[in-house]
Amino acid sequence: MQFTTFLAKHFDIEIETEFYPSSETNLTNIWLYEKGEDVEPVLILKQVFNVANAWRIGNVYSNLEHGAQTTEMKFRQLVKSGKVYNKGDKDN
């Protein structure tokens, strides 16, 4: 299953692609929102340059470490185990 398809099952997502002319590279940022709650993102995944299937975590409301690097497989495991965030942790 494609990574974005997996994410869309668990979150509302917004995908942004940035082009870097100096390296002629497109990098993707994926904004993840709690399903039905698109006010503030839970976190942002930023694609890592020159590392296949690797993402850097931009923490907003998640339990994950800001700036940590993760793979798609590890992130899938975190989502399935409910370790990305606790709904009660958000300030409303």
The 3-state secondary structure of the chain reads CCHHHHHHHHEEEEEEEEEECCCCEEEEEEEEEECCECCCCCEEEEECCCCCCEEEEEECCCCCCCCCEEEHHHHHHHHHCCCCCCHHHCCC
**Does 86 reside within a domain?**
no
**Does 85 reside within a domain?**
no
**Does 88 reside within a domain?**
no
**Does 34 reside within a domain?**
yes
**Does 25 reside within a domain?**
yes
- The mean pLDDT of 33-51, rounded to a whole number, is 89
Based on the structure, what is the number of domains in the chain?
A: 1
- The mean pLDDT of 24-47, rounded to a whole number, is 90
Q: Which amino acid belongs to residue 50? A: N
Mean pLDDT of the chain: 88
**Does 89 reside within a domain?**
no
**Does 32 reside within a domain?**
yes
Report the pLDDT value the prediction gives residue 13, as an integer from 0 to 100: 95
Boundaries of domain holding 17: 3-79
Asked whether residue 92 carries a pLDDT value surpassing 80, the answer given is no
Report the pLDDT value the prediction gives residue 55, as an integer from 0 to 100: 95
pLDDT confidence band for 25 (50 / 70 / 90): confident
**Does 91 reside within a domain?**
no
The Cα 74–Cα 35 span in angstroms is 21
